[in-house]
Amino acid sequence: MKQRIITGVIFGIVVLTMIILGGTPFAIFISLVATVAMIELLKMKKIQLFSLMGMISLLSMWLLLVPTSWFAMISSTFSRVEIFVFLILILLMLTVVTKNAFTFDEVGFVILASVYVGFGFHYLIMSREIPEIGMMLVFFVMFLIWATDSGAYFAGRTFGKHKLWPEISPKKTIEGSIGGIVSAVVIGSIFYWLVPIFPSYAMALTVMIVASVFGQIGDLVESALKRHYAVKDSGNVLPGHGGVLDRFDSLIYVMPILHLLQLI
């Protein structure tokens, strides 16, 4: 427990400091975090980092991760999506060239892992870059996820009777899930009244509910990954807390959703 508290406090201070700084320091920090997260996925799949597949996985993730302003300096002719599609075609060609030593299953893993980690952290960087409200917006979503996790934990322990998805996460309950949403709405409403970063409460409430619901789905997605690859934690880079994916799973799932639904 002591190790968990110390790690949590130190990592929390670092994350908060980077969010406050914003700009290039935040983008570099998130890029490092995303790289560690991708390496954790590679280890789950038992792929060596310095193998052909490992390096291609990192490159494809970085392609989707880098901030838009950085990518503009890399290529002014092709979009990142066009380059990513071209990379997919190359990966498919490698299945033939290597005579299936590089399998279709591995190609699918590279693509999904790159999108999951790359775009997830990319939209986190994009959110921080929003003029005037970027910092508070990131804090708002992080508070919603924290409130959801805490509310779900205490509601589940107190009222939990009906399993939410036992095949994926045996301890989660429907009552806990509802408690997490209620907690997010309460904390989010207080935050909104103190810092009204949205044009209306209705808009803020929509973000609260979407972030809470999809934050829980993001947590289940990572649980499904760990169960599939038979690992307890995504890594051990954060003693007492597991890996980077264990700490950012909800956030990197929620951020793309909020952007794609044009809520932020």
pLDDT of residue 223: 87
Residue type for position 229 = Y
Q: Which residues contact 53 (CB under 8 A, 6 or more apart)?
A: 47, 102, 106, 110
Residue type for position 245 = L
Strands, E, within the chain: which ranges? 163-165, 169-173
**What whole-number distance in Å separates Cα of residue 126 and Cα of residue 68?**
8
pTM: 0.90
Measured from the Cβ of residue 111, the count of other Cβ atoms closer than 10 Å reads: 17
Residue type for position 90 = I
3-state secondary structure of 216: helix
pLDDT of residue 212: 96
Per-residue pLDDT of the chain (264 residues), as tens digits, is 667 677 778 888 999 999 999 999 999 999 999 999 999 999 988 888 888 888 989 999 999 998 888 887 777 778 888 889 988 999 899 889 888 778 888 888 889 999 999 999 999 999 999 998 999 999 999 999 999 999 999 999 888 888 888 888 888 899 999 999 999 999 999 999 999 999 999 999 999 999 999 999 999 998 888 888 888 877 777 766 678 888 899 999 999 999 999 888
264 and 258 Cβ atoms separated by less than 8 Å? yes
